[in-house]
Structure 1
Amino acid sequence: MDNSGLVGELDRRYQDGLSASLDQAVVAANNSRYLWALETKVQCGIALGFMKSSHRDPTSIGNCARAHAMMNRAPAAPPRAIAPPPRAIVPPPPPPSPSRRAPFCEDARDTTVFFDFDSSELKPGSMVTLDTVAQQARDCGWVSLAVVGHADQAGSDAYNLALSRRRADVVAGVLRGKFAQGIAVNVDAKGEANPRVPLADGTPSPENRRVEISAQ
């Protein structure tokens, strides 16, 4: 679709996420729809921000579409179970089978967090993204996360390598704080070596100031 149609579609999904995140029935439900509503709002908002300069960012557009689909796929809260008779032994429900979890978990493996120029501080919306990653890690049974920091081409190679490491350390620290045990968080830094958008040396770029999170 053209840019006008894309902006309209992104805004519609953003509004869907915003509405769901404010719906008390969604907030109180015992399922992941609320987290997906927050993720929809964040990712569609990022995509809309890029579109202000007529730039189609494939990652944020794809994340917006995925989060919106998962928000609408999330099941409603189950009805309250009737209490069993006294002394009745009710076995716990079986865990979700791998075949049922696979599509959701495969789609959610890769996530990106963006940073402001020359900054390693997380943006407010990034905390929602990391909350979602932590929830997905528990739901999908991931055993490790790879956290890789990047910088844009503004500044020296040595400075950007250190900056990308600080960004990765910040994200890894937040994620480690969300896991009691059992999930390893491995950190690496690439500096300006692997840009999403290759540009001339010395060129700042919001798409290259990022931390990429990959799950196993």
Structure 2
Amino acid sequence: MIVAAAALVPGQASAQVSPRSPLLDLDRAELRSQIDSRYQSAVQATQASEIKRSADSRFVWAAEAKVQCGIALGYLKSGTRDEASINKCDGFSTRMAQASAPAPVAAAPAPAPGCGVDPSVSVFFDWNADAPLAEAQATVQQMVASRASCGWTRLAVTGHADRSGSDDYNVGISTRRANNIAAMLENAGVAVSDMTVSGKGESELKIETADGVREPMNRRVEISAQ
């Protein structure tokens, strides 16, 4: 039996109480099957080349779904139904499915030879975490390679936070996020003197939200060529 995931109102944040998922009404075997299916879909989405880019919100929801569905599966394997992770798994999976691909943009002027890449990328983070999602390493390596081929000399590494904490806390965690990504860039061969590292807290949101909202798209570090 396939059970439709509970719909989330666009713009709702994970900080709010997740709606009760109809998956909770299933028996244990069917529940585990449904959670595993959502987990596998999320894993595939985070690895899809057409989704794995900073401008595609499907990647962010897939990453969130992968984490929460993985937690729910872990509990189920130990014989426990963790309602919070099941609700979030179902909710994030729904948002992943509902999110659409970014609208096509007008063709840009022809780039210089060997440099047909975006000069800015984003790395995303779990809530209240300063360590990036696992996919960050590939993004950092991509930026380092682009820097070499495009001849960029300096990089701006700017950390951001959502609005779920105080102003001071968000400045601190956004700065730690930026420092961690800068360390990854340094390990990949970018000199510290070639980077400008800063934390903006919640002052430059990617998606506008009310205070207290845990918006995944706002928990990020932007790496930009200068």
Normalised by the length of structure 1, the TM-score is 0.58
User: What's the counterpart of residue 113 of structure 2?
Assistant: 100
* Bigger share in helix: 1
Distance 1:51 1:140, change over 3 A: farther
Q: Runs of 5+ in structure 1 lacking a partner?
A: 1-10, 19-38, 63-97
Contact 2:60 2:124 in 1 (8 A): no
Partner of 2:99: 55
Matched, 1:163 2:163: no
TM norm structure 2: 0.55
Aligned amino acid, residue 122 of structure 1: P
The 10-residue stretch of structure 1 (147-156 or 47-56) with the greater mean CA deviation from structure 2: 47-56
- Letter of the structure 1 residue corresponding to residue 210 of structure 2: A
Q: CA RMSD in A?
A: 3.2
Aligned to 1:135: 145
Is residue 2:223 matched to residue 1:210?
Answer: no
Q: Using a 3 Å threshold, how does the CA distance of structure 1 residues 119 and 127 change in structure 2: closer, same or farther?
A: same
- After superposition, residues 36-185 of structure 1 pair within 5 angstroms as 40=50, 42-43=52-53, 46=59, 49=62, 52-53=94-95, 54-56=98-100, 58=102, 99-102=112-115, 104=116, 107-179=117-189, 181=191, 184-185=194-195
In the alignment, the residues of structure 2 paired with residue 189 and residue 195 of structure 1 have an alpha-carbon distance, to the nearest angstrom, of 12
Partners of 2:159 and 2:190 in 1: CA distance: 23
Contact 1:149–1:191 (8 Å) recurs in 2: yes
Contact 1:145-1:183 within 8 A present in 2 as well? no
Tell me if the contact between 1:120 and 1:170 (Cα under 8 Å) persists in the aligned partners: yes
Q: Residue 172 of structure 1 contacts residue 187 of structure 1 at CA under 8 Å; is this kept in 2? A: yes
**What amino acid is the match of 1:55?**
A
Instruction: Give the C-alpha shift of residue 159 in structure 1.
Output: 0.3
Do the aligned partners of residues 154 and 111 (structure 1) sit closer, same or farther apart at CA in structure 2, a change above 3 Å counting?
A: same
Hey, what's the Cα distance between the residues in 2 that align with 1:101 and 1:189? 31
User: 8 Å contact 1:147–1:171 — kept in the other structure?
Assistant: yes
* Distance in 1, Cα, partners of 2:223 & 2:154: 10
In the TM superposition, what is the alpha-carbon distance from 1:120 to its structure 2 partner? 0.6
Summarize the Cα distance change of 1:180–1:121 in structure 2 as closer, same or farther, 3 Å threshold: closer
Deviating above 2 A after TM superposition, structure 1's stretches of 4 or more consecutive aligned residues are 39-45, 47-52, 54-58, 180-183
Given that residues 155 and 196 in structure 2 are in contact (C-alpha distance below 8 angstroms), is that contact kept between their aligned partners in structure 1?
yes
Supply the AA of the counterpart residue of 1:193. Answer: S
In the alignment of these two chains, the number of paired residues is 145
Q: Is the 8 A contact 1:145 1:213 kept in 2?
A: yes
Report the Cα distance in structure 2 between the residues aligned to 1:173 and 1:190, rounded to whole angstroms: 18
Instruction: Tell whether the 8 Å contact from 1:142 to 1:215 is kept in structure 2 after alignment.
Output: yes
Q: Is the 8 A contact 1:120 1:163 kept in 2?
A: yes
Task: Tell me how far 1:52 sits from its aligned partner.
Answer: 3.5
